[in-house]
A and B are shown apart, each in its own frame.
Chain A
Amino acid sequence: MAKVVFTGGLRTLVGAESIELEAARVVDLVAALYARYPALEGKLEGATVAIDGTLHHDARYQRLLPTSEVHFLAPIAGG
């Protein structure tokens, strides 16, 4: 099962530092998170998603391994 680690406001909404969920892709993971934590609904859109240390700007269809660790981060911009 993929491990999702929460920080900041997301941790407050979920009430846990990390959880484990069954999901093959990030899009499935997000749907599962919204279903389990309705307060999260919409909060993960546009997030930069770190999967095993690699930061994806658009991770919607990225595949997850059972050992994957996922972080949802603020969108990363630049100048």
Chain B
Amino acid sequence: MSNQNGSGSDRKFKVVGTRPIRHDGLDKVTGRANYGADLALPGMLQGAILRSPHAHARIKKLDVSKALAMPGVKAIVTSADFPEIGSGGMAAGESHIDPKDLQANIMARGKVLYHGHAVAAVAASTIEQAREACKMITVDYEVLKPVMTLAQALAKDAPILHEGRKAVGVPPLPEGDTNIMMRLANAKGDVDAAFKGADVVVEGWYEASMAHQGYIEPHATVVTTRENGQAEIWCSTQGPFAVKSMVAVTLQMDPNLIRVTPSEIGGGFGGKTTIYLEPVAVLLSRKARRPVKMVMSREEVFRATGPTSGTRIWAKLGVKKDGSFVAADTRMEFEAGGFAGSPMGAASMTLYAAYNIPNFRFEGLDIVVNRPKVAAYRAPGAPNAAYALETAIDELAQKLAIDPIDLRLKNAVKEGDVASYGPKYDRIGFIECLQAAKNHPQYKAPLGKNQGRGVGAGFWFNVGLQSSATVSINDDGSAVVRTGNPDIGGSRASMAITVAEELGIPVERVRPLVGDTDTVGYCDLTGGSRVTYATGMAVIEASKNVIEHLRARAATIWGCEVDAVEWRDGQAVGTNGASNNKPLSLADIAKQMAHTGGPIIASASVNPPAAGPGFGVHLCDIEVDPETGRSTVLRYLVVQDAGKAVHPSYVEGQFQGGAAQGIGWALWEEYLFDKDGKMENPGFLDYRMPVASDLPMIDTVVVEVPNPLHPYGVRGVGETPIVPPLATVGNAVSRAIGVRMHQLPMTPPRVLDAIETKKG
């Protein structure tokens, strides 16, 4: 692993950029950390959910009377227990959702839209009793033909998932009932004329399967309610404040009555930015007047929680002989699952964002199918879009006999260029990433027989949003920093490093805490690659406010004006008539807090703009066994602009994790459904995510082109790493076997088929 500083920041850091052991590490490796399922309360009941055995059906009748009479059963909830709410839009942290759809996804109302859709829930003394009671609930279904693929959804005679709902977006829109929920389109220049003037044109369909985020910890919650209407919710989530908002809207509760405590989180990757169990547990607890725990099984996670969209993307790219892109045209079809809301909008904005393409056009469709409702997954939509465009670029590089990195360098965006989505770029590091990849030893390593090298690039916005932080000083001179962002990727360490940097104390003297919705200021979700950037800015501000207190306390001790005190290297230093005083350390001042005004504590809140674009370039060397079609990843490199790596190990970890997930999506992961729409592989044995033995050590290069929007130059890093791998791996496989493949995952049977087709 190496680090390449693109231009450097003027500030000389002492703690930022170091690699201390994470503060939460000991508890996590010793099993002491408390995850969603670990909490137990006196009198707590266990909840279970009855799920639909059909992918598409009307609920004609639902009878819970037999189940309610079962031993140990204390409460049963169906959609009848949820208040009826209208369609609309609500801000849920970083996204906007339709609360009516959100509620209907949590508990089916009138119609089930995927196999595993929740129909009823039971709370009983034991989980076995709850599960047995679920079996005694009788549901009379009118089974409908499932719509499992995009082609089926778009067919003229397709069954309609949401009767009466019209498509919205950019005309022309389909008239009458449709499975198209939204259409987006945009164009720049004269695309058709530009294609006519192109020297080489490639076009094709590029398909990617629906893929799950694959977090290790299933969804889990414990809820207790009180007679005054209050609800206390413990859950595994990326955003406790978002849970509070979503529970409030789905149950039409006063948000003031809801307190949400985030547990430790065993992965989320976007999949825990929404809710499934929490409102159900609130209703069960309310009815039973007891605390209720609900924990999903792995099978439930696969059947009923958000994967990301499967896609069909047609892309056409035209180029001059010298490698200059002249035109691009794309049609993107995104599976939304049972309810509207795929990441097609983000995909449309990221699609061409890495390159200067003078003439382009795209059309994007958000399409409902009888599969689980999609949820966010790392850079939602961008990997699918990049898969199509970056594969087309590789095809062009082969046709033109141009080095694939050189082709990208010729067209890459840089500071001052106009992004395809509208505004001009400020300082960005795409060129630096391409150059770093080209100069890396892997790019020069010789390839053997049946081996291929793939190149791919990716872009993601990175968001900002609202954050707050509180820093307090203990009387021994140590510090505590509290925020409301669950720690998924090492953010506790980042927050502690930031406080240590600002106050000038060792990072081990800072305790980073994640609070609940009643004890910390508002923070948007842990998502969008925003926490180290946005919450980090709040921590910087809070730390600076603490320093103002420390200067004032030193002035009190010395009997001088505050202006005569400076904070340097973790000490109060006297100037302007106070310079004869011996500098006071933070510990010296802390000892005298009681005499100088009481506890020292400061907060800050921010709502910064988006976190500065992140660009990455990946290299993948693959060997394909021509007898079996099995692909073995030999070497893999991630190069990405991090702006400034606050804790380089966790930046590298984000790079490696995103790459590993992307490799799995490219080679192995897919949802397999039977003819009735039942998922056939709802477990890690058959839904094949990569494990450590499947992959080589993923190498990384951290490029640092400072982000002008952040005091340290930080950019978000968590999402960009999953954007390039789909195309990077696909390009490597295609080059290894000498035939271009257009469908993910590139499983051994598909690769063998491509080899056989080539042989004729």
Judge whether A79 and B423 touch: CB under 8 Å.
no
Bound-state CA distance A69–B418 (Å) is: 12
Given contacts A50-B423, A53-B423, A8 and B186 within 8 Å (CB-CB): yes
Given contacts A12-B171, A57-B464, A57-B609, A78 and B530 within 8 Å (CB-CB): yes
Given contacts A73-B349, A73-B421, A8 and B94 within 8 Å (CB-CB): no
Given contacts A9-B169, A9-B185, A74-B345, A79 and B610 within 8 Å (CB-CB): no
CB distance from A31 to the nearest CB of B (A): 20
- Let me know if B529 is at the binding interface, CB within 8 A: yes
CB distance from A32 to the nearest CB of B (A): 19
Q: Which B residues lie within 8 Å of A67 (CB)?
A: none
Judge whether B270 and A79 touch: CB under 8 Å.
yes
Instruction: Identify A54's interface contact among B171, B273, B609, CB under 8 A.
Output: B609
Judge whether A55 and B528 touch: CB under 8 Å.
no
Judge whether A76 and B378 touch: CB under 8 Å.
no
CB distance from A37 to the nearest CB of B (A): 16
Q: Which B residues lie within 8 Å of A66 (CB)?
A: none
Interface flags for B91-128 (1: CB within 8 Å of A; 0: not) read 10011100000000000000000000000000000000
Quick one: which of A12, A55, A75 has the most chain B CB within 10 A?
A: A55
Q: Which B residues lie within 8 Å of A79 (CB)?
A: 213, 269-271, 273, 376-380, 527-528, 719
Closest to A62 in B: B609
Closest to B465 in A: A57
Q: Which B residues lie within 8 Å of A75 (CB)?
A: 94-96, 345
Q: Which A residues lie within 8 Å of B423 (CB)?
A: 50, 52-55, 69, 71
Bound-state CA distance A73–B89 (Å) is: 17
- Let me know if B422 is at the binding interface, CB within 8 A: yes
- Let me know if B461 is at the binding interface, CB within 8 A: yes
Judge whether A71 and B91 touch: CB under 8 Å.
no
Judge whether A78 and B96 touch: CB under 8 Å.
no
Q: Which of A31-79 contact B (CB under 8 A)?
A: 46, 48, 50, 52-58, 69, 71, 73-79
Bound-state CA distance A58–B610 (Å) is: 10
CB distance from A45 to the nearest CB of B (A): 8
Q: Which B residues lie within 8 Å of A55 (CB)?
A: 423, 461, 464, 609-610
Given contacts A55-B609, A79-B378, A79-B380, A73 and B422 within 8 Å (CB-CB): yes
Q: Which of B712-736 contact A (CB under 8 A)?
A: 719
Chain B: interface residue total (CB-CB under 8 A) = 48
Interface flags for B411-433 (1: CB within 8 Å of A; 0: not) read 00000000001111110000000
Given contacts A74-B346, A78-B530, A53 and B426 within 8 Å (CB-CB): yes
Judge whether A57 and B273 touch: CB under 8 Å.
no
Quick one: which of A46, A69, A73, A78 has the most chain B CB within 10 A?
A: A78
- Let me know if B709 is at the binding interface, CB within 8 A: yes
CB distance from B173 to the nearest CB of A (A): 10
- Let me know if B343 is at the binding interface, CB within 8 A: yes
Bound-state CA distance A12–B530 (Å) is: 33
CB distance from A42 to the nearest CB of B (A): 10
Bound-state CA distance A71–B610 (Å) is: 14
- Let me know if B4 is at the binding interface, CB within 8 A: no
Instruction: Identify B94's interface contact among A9, A50, A78, CB under 8 A.
Output: A78
Q: Which A residues lie within 8 Å of B470 (CB)?
A: none
Q: Which A residues lie within 8 Å of B379 (CB)?
A: 78-79
Instruction: Identify A78's interface contact among B89, B91, B376, CB under 8 A.
Output: B376
Instruction: Identify A76's interface contact among B271, B461, B709, CB under 8 A.
Output: B461
CB distance from A3 to the nearest CB of B (A): 12
Bound-state CA distance A42–B502 (Å) is: 43
Judge whether A78 and B185 touch: CB under 8 Å.
no
Bound-state CA distance A60–B69 (Å) is: 55
Judge whether A7 and B465 touch: CB under 8 Å.
no
Interface flags for B73-95 (1: CB within 8 Å of A; 0: not) read 00000000000000001010011
- Let me know if A5 is at the binding interface, CB within 8 A: yes
Q: Which of B156-204 contact A (CB under 8 A)?
A: 169-171, 184-186, 188
- Let me know if B463 is at the binding interface, CB within 8 A: yes
- Let me know if B607 is at the binding interface, CB within 8 A: yes
Bound-state CA distance A70–B89 (Å) is: 24
Bound-state CA distance A71–B423 (Å) is: 7
Bound-state CA distance A32–B701 (Å) is: 48
Judge whether B169 and A7 touch: CB under 8 Å.
no
Bound-state CA distance A69–B419 (Å) is: 13
Quick one: which of B95, B380, B610 has the most chain A CB within 10 A?
A: B610
Instruction: Identify B89's interface contact among A12, A46, A74, A77, CB under 8 A.
Output: A46
Q: Which B residues lie within 8 Å of A52 (CB)?
A: 423-424
- Let me know if B46 is at the binding interface, CB within 8 A: no
Judge whether B528 and A50 touch: CB under 8 Å.
no
Bound-state CA distance A58–B421 (Å) is: 18
Bound-state CA distance A34–B463 (Å) is: 27
Q: Which A residues lie within 8 Å of B270 (CB)?
A: 78-79
Judge whether B345 and A78 touch: CB under 8 Å.
no
Closest to B186 in A: A8
Instruction: Identify B719's interface contact among A9, A46, A57, A78, CB under 8 A.
Output: A78
Closest to B185 in A: A8
Q: Which of B519-544 contact A (CB under 8 A)?
A: 527-530
Closest to A8 in B: B186
Q: List 23 A-B contacts (CB under 8 A).
A: A5-B422, A8-B184, A9-B169, A9-B170, A46-B96, A52-B423, A54-B609, A54-B709, A57-B464, A58-B607, A74-B346, A74-B348, A75-B345, A76-B461, A77-B346, A78-B270, A78-B460, A78-B463, A78-B530, A79-B269, A79-B378, A79-B527, A79-B528
List 20 additional contacts besides A7-B188, A76-B461; criterion CB under 8 Å: A7-B421, A9-B184, A12-B170, A46-B96, A52-B423, A53-B423, A53-B424, A54-B609, A55-B461, A57-B464, A69-B424, A71-B423, A75-B94, A75-B95, A76-B94, A76-B349, A76-B463, A78-B461, A78-B528, A79-B273
